[in-house]
Structure 1
Amino acid sequence: MAFTIKQTSLIVATLGVLSFIFGVVAENKKPASGNIITGKNFVICKYPDDPTVVLGYLSAAFLAVSTGFSYFALFYPYKGKSIPQAALFQNTGFLVFFNVALATTGLAATLLLWPTITEQLHQVRNIHHNLATECPTAKTGLLGGGAFLSLDSCLFWLVALMLADNTREDYFGSDTKLHPVLAPMML
């Protein structure tokens, strides 16, 4: 199946928005703390049933799929014509947005996975021998911050896709001749 720039942009945007929504909902559904059940020389933390862990992992998964598809879409040969990576990375704007998209993706993944894994560990390791335990949950605000960075990452990938499309048009021109400066690279 042949993709167009509009289709790939729509897919990247949809996946990025889904990652954002799942991250924000995960942050809002996260309980403040668990219920303390004391026993003899131990404390059991009972956490309410909440979808925080599942939503956090879904948000991270949609971020990963959005990023993977964005990366694929940047170098995909549209209309059967591929452009050398060197031609793309000679465009300073593309290079900047590509690197910023990678950085925001990494930071978003960190801020989504860190509290999700921490929350899951709190729920699994819920027996404590310290009687002063207050049944903590993951740090508040990290999932929401990760969700917003996930949306930012999606937007940076979209700008990189637009800049790659502009570079493709400049490279091939309107009559699909090779770009005169980059033609020696093709040989």
Structure 2
Amino acid sequence: MAARVIDLAAGRRTVAVMRNLYAVLPCVAAGGLVLAACSVTYGNKAVASASSYEGLKPGRATKADVYETLGQPSDVLEMEKGVLWTYRYRKAKNNLVGNIPLFGVGLIAGGKNGDVYTVLVLFDRKGVLLSRTADRRKLYTSNLASLKRSVDDMMEDNSSHRRVEAEMKKIGKPFSEEAARESRLLESSLD
């Protein structure tokens, strides 16, 4: 009789666990779909809209004007004709595979699909706008590759960070460490 009572109790627990499992599985599936729809953004959102910078006219706009319109650049490079400022923005969504938590499948096979917006602004030696160009392209980034780039990035020097900081000092504008870190994350995702 005691063995039968134990079996009935075990059976009731099994039924209760199965009921809970059936209640939890739809929630887990819905959570996975929500995660799959998550988006990630890096960089300067103003770069994604031409209306934010179309008023910057070559021959008239200065470095100060561009800074007031678009903020701190992602990178600054000395060129033969002058100085090139780079602005970037990335918006990406996780793909569905990236959210599978079992056995690292999401890390190995998952990734992000999205768009990268780039605005290049070239100034002459006097700091007057010579030209500006804009580009948008699709980009897929593997989660595993992103992880490797992040680790590699921690080991590398941060020359773009120093170039932007020096340029901001030259033109008397504030330098944002946070914007520089975000730019660095974005640039490492483009390799």
Give the TM-score normalised by the residue count of structure 2: 0.31
More strand by share: 2
Give the TM-score normalised by the residue count of structure 1: 0.31
More RCO (CA 8 Å, sep 6+): 1
